[in-house]
Amino acid sequence: MTAKFSSYILNFKQPGGTSRGILHTKETFILEISENGNRGVGECALFRGLSCDDFPGYESKLTWLCENINEDPAFLGSELRAFPSIWFGYEQAVLNLRNGRNLYFPSAFTEGKSTLKINGLIWMGDATFMQKQIEEKLKDGFDCIKLKIGTDWKSEKEILTNLREKFPEEQLELRVDANGGFEFTEAKKVLKELSELKIHSIEQPVKAGNWDQMTELCAETPIPIALDEELIGIREPEEKQKLLAQIKPQYIILKPSLIGGFSGTDEWISYAEHSGIGWWITSALESNIGLNAIAQYAFTKSPTIPQGLGTGGLFTNNFESALELRGDQLGFKV
């Protein structure tokens, strides 16, 4: 086998607002593996400022992988444990090489016989911008919406209140994602107010790394709390089990490109289910290459609740998509 990689800059159609700032571009890396005239493609979806492998030497490690592509996968996995996004791309490329055009996890999903239900994502912005997004999602048939919060709670609460007045919880499931945007004491107050609005769950109310704070919040919270950024950088099986045993979250959010690819996600799911903790899978601004692979993988896990997958429509220069949105159902183009 031979391998090569290239960098690619994705441009947002409109700036994406998060509690960590405004995003205009998203850098990513495309890995290609070739063997006997066949080609496998994967995306090493580095997320600057969020990925635990965002440090000098990233491209050197990609070069190392290409030079050692014929080594035993177990050896490569151990060497790339500190580079979850590179391992994520490697897993994709190998699966694609094996399965062919746009295929990573062949299933009823890739045969066009089934779909994945997803939530509609509402980006941060002023009240008018967020309200416009919500109206579009409702018009498209979504009955599960996730809103980014944590920058202007007063305005965000007003939007949620208006939504709940129009749509009871039986009609519209509301999830919120704070991306660690609240201080500990404020988070307690916000959790109570979210409970009064019948919110399904909140992701990462306080910054990652504050295990004691998160443990207290999860023990006392009136609504389910989901760990998100908290999982990033936790690589060893013992550490994963320790985190879940101490914090005891109601859910964990699984982003394969940030937590060690599909094998890393499998580990988290196994430990979570053993502890009675719920989960769902979420994309993390990957291009259509990585998004396609994540969607195929997510289907194989037989999820029972809406997943947090994107649609590939955020960028002006994305790759051709193998997926299509049908209402709130993500499907594979056959």
pLDDT digits (tens, 9 = 90+) for 157-192: 999 999 999 899 999 999 999 999 999 999 999 999
Q: Do 129 and 245 belong together in one domain?
A: yes
If one counts the domains in the chain, the total is 2
Query: 188, 207, 240, 255: which is the annotated catalytic residue?
Result: 255
Q: Give catalytic status of residue 192 as yes or no.
A: no
Q: Do 19 and 78 belong together in one domain?
A: yes
Residue 9 lies in domain: 2-99
Q: Is the pLDDT assigned to residue 125 strictly greater than 80? A: no
Q: Give catalytic status of residue 333 as yes or no.
A: no
Task: For residue 275, give the CATH number of its domain.
Answer: 3.20.20.120
In a domain, 105, yes or no: no
Task: For residue 65, give the CATH number of its domain.
Answer: 3.30.390.10
Q: Is the pLDDT assigned to residue 19 strictly greater than 70? A: no
User: What are 254-309's pLDDT values in tens digits?
Assistant: 999 999 999 999 999 999 999 999 999 999 999 999 999 999 999 999 999 999 99
Question: Whose CA is closest to 124, among 253, 15, 282, 208?
Answer: 15
Q: Do 158 and 247 belong together in one domain?
A: yes
Q: Do 234 and 300 belong together in one domain?
A: yes
E strand or H helix that includes residue 185:
helix 184-196
Q: Do 227 and 127 belong together in one domain?
A: yes
**What is the pairing mode between strands 38-44 and 323-326?**
unpaired
Tokens coding 325: 């949105």
Q: 99, 128, 153 — which closes off a domain?
A: 99
Dihedral (CA of 82, 85, 89, 91) sign: positive
Q: 36, 69, 99 — which closes off a domain?
A: 99
pTM for the model stands at: 0.95
Question: Residue 17's pLDDT band (boundaries 50, 70, 90)?
Answer: low
In a domain, 320, yes or no: yes
Q: Do 191 and 127 belong together in one domain?
A: yes
Q: Do 81 and 128 belong together in one domain?
A: no
Query: 137, 148, 188, 240: which is the annotated catalytic residue?
Result: 148
User: What are 42-84's pLDDT values in tens digits?
Assistant: 999 999 988 999 999 999 999 999 999 999 999 999 999 999 9
Average the pLDDT over 148-160 and give the result: 90
